[in-house]
Amino acid sequence: MIGKYKIVGIFMSDIRDESRSRYVTRMAEHAAEEHYRLIVYNSFPELSDDDATGPEVYAALQLIDFDCIDAMIIMTLSLKNQKVADYLTETCRQRQIPVILMDREEPGCYSIQNRLEKTFEKLVRHVIADHHAKDIIMISGPKDNSFAVDREKIFTKVMNEYCLPLTNDTVVNSDMGVAKTGLLVDELLRKRRKPPEAFICANDVMANAVIDRMREYGYRVPEDVIVTGVDGAMSESYRSPSLTTCELMIERDADETDKLLHSIFTGKITEMKRVIPHEMVLGASCGCRKDTVSHFGRTSEQLYVRYCNTQRMEEKTYLLMSEVMRDADFAHLGEKIKQRITRASLVSLSEDILETDRIIAEDCMTYSYSDRMRMLAGKMRTGEWKSNECYDTKRIFPDFENQLLLKEPIVVTPLNFDRHLYGYYATHYGNIMDHAGEMFWTVRTLTMALNLVLDRRTYARGKEDAHV
């Protein structure tokens, strides 16, 4: 707790993911109303991999000040390396910090889980019972994907209940992507000469890939063939026809998390686990709905807004990159970065790297790479922080208490050099969904620029040593 605010941490990888950015955006709305504050400890895929010993895997862990955290939310499915989640969970337990696990159960932890099974079964029954389809093919995911396997079992169960035929081609396995799904459809049509009455796909991406292939062969959806998906992914919702799918209720996840946090903070706990079912959404791809002109108008508007945001983000990224790549010392680099980064954000580096060129190579899961940070560049909403100001690493901002007054979530992402950590980029965003991409490219640009500066400095000092 800091001042009058309880602090809730959210630990995740890749905030660009649609479901995670939507979740944080909704949680920020609740936080502003309930008077707690969010700190998102984020890392991007390039800063984390499956190597259990790589320091970058544990980057965000080092920035957590457990002394001020009142509850920790862990987005377990976003983490490639589950040892990170295990370590964080155990550390919070030892410090008696309540842990909320998303889509995972552990003894002593609260859990919010999404359940697809009943909704997917309902969707399969809808295709068979309401649309009278008998010739059905399921395009599933990889055979070693547990989610795909579960969906196959449900599909097979319902098909058996209705005494519908199951052959070797009734369930085919793709890779959850577009290209392989298209090739599978090609192969099926070569064998069958005509499409089935319905394709039931294990995700929305594959469903839209099937629709595209059907059009290429001259078949209409849903008039000639029904296609359904799973997930309700926003990235696939701009397509026509609109998909019949099982939608993951992200906002409901956030609503339940807020209720659980309220119960934890007030001491009125009623249950450790909350289960949230997906919701079946009937679209035009099964024929239950017709896409209207207003639907296409809204879709076009949303796409245009996203296009404009992407263009603006790319322009800012290129400007930042062109500016910061020119200088080979941190003094000038800080001023260049300050001109290009957004308001209420900062770039800070470890004193280890600024003063001694020392980069820690020890196990970063348990070793804090620096107790002190020096701000390289930063902007407040009004005015600016003092350049080169030093402060405790885990405070994130020099005036941390004042930043909590902004109500918006703080997102902090580590910076690394040759797999070793040396600083971070921290910022405030009200609507994470609109700015997650900008955050990613800012971090990428900063990482490249700072690495270049370190390379140049190391090279210059190597020449000096050789000359001496």
How large is the average pLDDT for residues 47-70? 65
Give the residue among 182, 173, 188 at the shortest CA–CA distance from 142: 173
Distance CA 184, CA 395 (A): 52
Lowest average pLDDT, out of 17-26, 272-281, 409-418, goes to 409-418
Distance CA 312, CA 317 (A): 9
- Helices 293-324 and 432-467: crossing angle in degrees, nearest 10, is 20
Residue 160's pLDDT is: 96
Q: Give 363's pLDDT tier (boundaries 50, 70, 90).
A: very low
Share of the chain above pLDDT 70, in %: 77
Annotated domain spans of the chain: 1-113+253-275+342-468, 117-247+282-300
Lowest average pLDDT, out of 38-42, 89-93, 260-264, 387-391, goes to 387-391
pLDDT of residue 403 exceeding 50: yes
How large is the average pLDDT for residues 85-107? 91
DSSP string, 378-444: EE-SSS-PPTT-EEEGGG-STTHHHHGGG-SPEEEEEEEETTEEEEEEEEE-S-HHHHHHHHHHHHH
Site of tokens 């954000």: 345
Provide the mean pLDDT of the chain: 81
The runs of H, that is alpha helices, within 95-230 are 117-125, 146-161, 178-192, 204-216
Class of the CATH domain delimited by 117-247+282-300: alpha beta
pLDDT of residue 436 exceeding 60: yes
pLDDT of residue 277 exceeding 80: yes
Model pLDDT for residues 110-149, shown as the tens digit of each residue: 999 988 899 999 999 999 999 999 999 999 999 888 888 9
Model pLDDT for residues 299-342, shown as the tens digit of each residue: 677 667 767 777 776 777 667 666 666 655 666 777 777 777 76
Residue 3's pLDDT is: 76
pLDDT of residue 467 exceeding 90: no
Residue 377's pLDDT is: 75
pLDDT of residue 405 exceeding 60: yes
Q: Give 267's pLDDT tier (boundaries 50, 70, 90).
A: confident
Distance CA 458, CA 423 (A): 18
Indicate if 117-247+282-300 has the same CATH topology as 1-113+253-275+342-468.
yes
Q: Give 7's pLDDT tier (boundaries 50, 70, 90).
A: very high
Share of the chain above pLDDT 90, in %: 36
Class of the CATH domain delimited by 1-113+253-275+342-468: alpha beta
Task: Please indicate whether residue 438 or residue 264 has the higher confidence score (pLDDT).
Answer: 264
For 75, other C-beta atoms within 10 Å of its C-beta total: 25
